[in-house]
Structure 1
Amino acid sequence: MASISVGCNWKHVAVPVQKGSKENVADNLEYLEPAIYDMSQVPVHPKNTENSDLCELKCRPPIDHISIEGDPTKSLTVQKSPSYADHPLVVGPRYQPCDFRCTWATYLGKDTSGVFVLGLNAGLLLARRLHMTRPTRAYHIQGIFGQATDNYFLDGRIVEKATFHHIKRIHMARVLSSMQAAHQKQMFEQCGVDLQSQAAYELAVQGLVRPSSGKIPVIYSIKCIHLQPPHFTLEVQCINEYEMYLKTIIHEVGMQLRSVATCTSIQCIRHGHLKLDHALLRKYWHLQQVLDNMAK
């Protein structure tokens, strides 16, 4: 079967991205002519996401069954009728979940929403290559001052409380600029050059400086885009990050401001060159919309 490569979806918090997606796409494919597309795991519940337009498309009829009838001592007739061995009511749906394969380009945790890139069937290798290139990603991370939890997230058990009325935007800007400078210094140190040297300048003009290891998180930019105590939002551009690391950023900001803070939301707004405009909302996770999205 032919297959398509990579699609960009919008992941909701606590939604298992691969669970249930095979069934949804398989159900949609049932209404298409066979051997057109071999799709994969976009996670939705099939009963709630039937596409009325796809349901109206013509399905491939069963293959013909040829039989020879009549008395062998006399004339024989050739009969052609639909084969029940190929009828969907007998053999079941023409497309099964096991026909589809899917993988992510970069994993998002259960508490993270936003842009999520998937490779479908032939796109599995492309998704892995995209992951190996280690593209930068941007996040909007929301937090709340005044409380700290045992898992650094809002749903955890509160273990500490503190005041936050002394926190001003200028204090926030100083802390964030210090964190960003520390990470920039760390990048050049990993490359073995002095930050104040000519070698560091020549390295910087070549483009984005990436860490030698794919397991070390690095922040390229961090700024506060909203502050209305106790609530605030940070915009972070980083590489090699993971969900717990993003949560600890909020915790560290709270400690640096002589208070405590807990992460309340993590939203990926950009994955490489893919932005929110490229992502499909869950209500559009149907076959035709997925095909259109991957064609862009």
Structure 2
Amino acid sequence: MGSRGLARLHGLFAVYKPPGLKWKHLRDTVELQLLKGVNAGRAPAPEQRVRFLLGPVGDGEEKALTLTATSVPTLTNHPLVCGPAFTRLKIGVGHRLDAQASGVLVLGVGHGRRLLTSMYNAHLTKDYTVRGLLGKATDDFCEDGRLVEKSTYDHVTREKLDRILALIQGSHQKALVMYSNVDLQTQEAYDMAVRGLIRPMGKSPMLVTGIRCVSFAPPEFLLEVQCMHETQKQLRRLVHEIGLELKTTAVCSQVRRTRDGFFTLDDALLRTQWDLHNIQDAIQAAAPRVAAELEKSLRPGLGIQKLPGPSRPWDSWGPSSASGLESCAGSLKGQVAGGPVDG
């Protein structure tokens, strides 16, 4: 049972990380549950060996001692003697989530850990729902952080928020083209854009490929964000900077990842499903989709003519702000006020 169970534990699967749980604790919990599963099988019958035991022979008062060949079990491999057969599994974690965030977390077991590297190199986008709260600012951009400022928000409307989000998305899409280092005047670049394959060729700041407001009920608002190369702290700072552009303040009350590459909430195993059989089934179900998506994202280049890179290497570029708003602060203010935005 243990060997057969391990043979099916090679691949990727997704779990749902609840808020307040560190990713290291989640990984250790999954490993413990898997070890319980592979070690829970019925132990094989112990091997037998022949021993010569000394014993009396005869019925009379004078019994003779002689050696008799007897088959006895070998206990050197018994679980009560040597312990469980499997004591450790190698489990890798994909794009991590901090303790306050929740949502889809991809794990790799066995040879699946190599696929986590492939997912990283594919620069796949991720979806989040981010909940904001207008009217206050904290030191760490979280709702439960140390309060540093309170402000009014009666002047904030849905139209103003949508305008700010459109400007953010536009500026980040321009940055995406720059970091993708492709010539948009070619047919190959157009084909890549249609398939959604224009992505950074290396390291870059957080890039927002899509953002929209799905709920606006002051002081709360809910955003859907599609991005790459992000951290959850940068998403919280994005909410803070949106509040500043709206001439008020805002904090982030929730960050929830709803999609990581080709894994969605429907693929994520709940905490009650973190066991051997459910994880094996999840790996088998995801394997064809993982292979197809990685092949599409990592296929050789299509002959794209590369543009000359910036004067500084990408690794030396750091995001001036989480949302990229500092570099176009004047444009944003002009657009909010109704003025033109430079191309």
Which bin holds the TM-score, normalised by the shorter protein? 0.7 to 0.9
CA displacement at 1:200 relative to structure 2? 7.8
Secondary structure at the counterpart of residue 183 of structure 1: helix
- Give 1:204 shift: 4.4
- Which residue, out of 78, 90, 98, partners 1:87? 78
Q: 2:94 & 2:105 partners in 1: Cα distance?
A: 8
CA contact (8 A) 2:138 2:148 kept: yes
| Aligned: 1:290 with 2:276 | no
State the AA in 2 paired with 1:249: L
RMSD: 2.2
> Which of 67, 72, 78 is matched with 2:50 structurally?
67
Separation in 2, partners of 1:193, 1:293: 37
Match of 1:117 in 2: 106
Quote how far apart the aligned CAs of 1:65 are.
3.7
Asked if 2 retains the 8 angstrom alpha-carbon contact of 1:28 and 1:287, the reply is yes
Residue among 189, 209, 221 paired with 1:232: 221
In structure 2, what residue type is equivalent to 1:10?
Y
SS at match of 1:124: helix
- Asked if the contact 1:145/1:260 (under 8 Å) is kept, the reply is yes
Is the partner of 1:177 in helix, strand or coil? helix
Structure of greater Rg: 2
- Given candidates 209, 212, 216, the residue that maps to 1:223 is 212
Q: Give 2:70's aligned amino acid.
A: V
Amino acid at match of 2:178: E
The offset of 1:213, in angstroms, is: 2.8
Q: 1 CA distance for matches of 2:191 and 2:31?
A: 45
Match of 1:155 in 2: 144
Q: Which runs of 5+ in 1 are unaligned?
A: 33-58
> Number of paired residues?
264
Cα deviations across residues 265-295 of structure 1 (Å, max 9, x unaligned)? 1111011121111111111111111111111
How many Å separate the matches in 2 of 1:139 and 1:279? 15
2:202 to 187, 207, 213: 213
Q: Does 1:77 pair with 2:63?
A: no
Q: Structure 1 residue 193: deviation in Å?
A: 7.4
TM-score, structure 1 normalization: 0.82
* Structure 2 residue ranges without an equivalent (≥5): 56-64, 286-343
Corresponding residue for residue 19 of structure 1: 28
For the 8 Å contact 2:181–2:201, the answer to whether it is kept is no
Is 1:271 aligned with 2:260? Answer: yes
Q: CA deviation at 1:262?
A: 0.4
2:112 is paired with a residue whose SS is: helix
Q: Which amino acid aligns with 1:21?
A: V
CA distance in 1, matches of 2:139, 2:52: 78
Matched AA of 2:283: M
**Residue identity in the other structure for 2:30:** S
Q: 1:180 to 1:200 in 2, by over 3 A?
A: farther
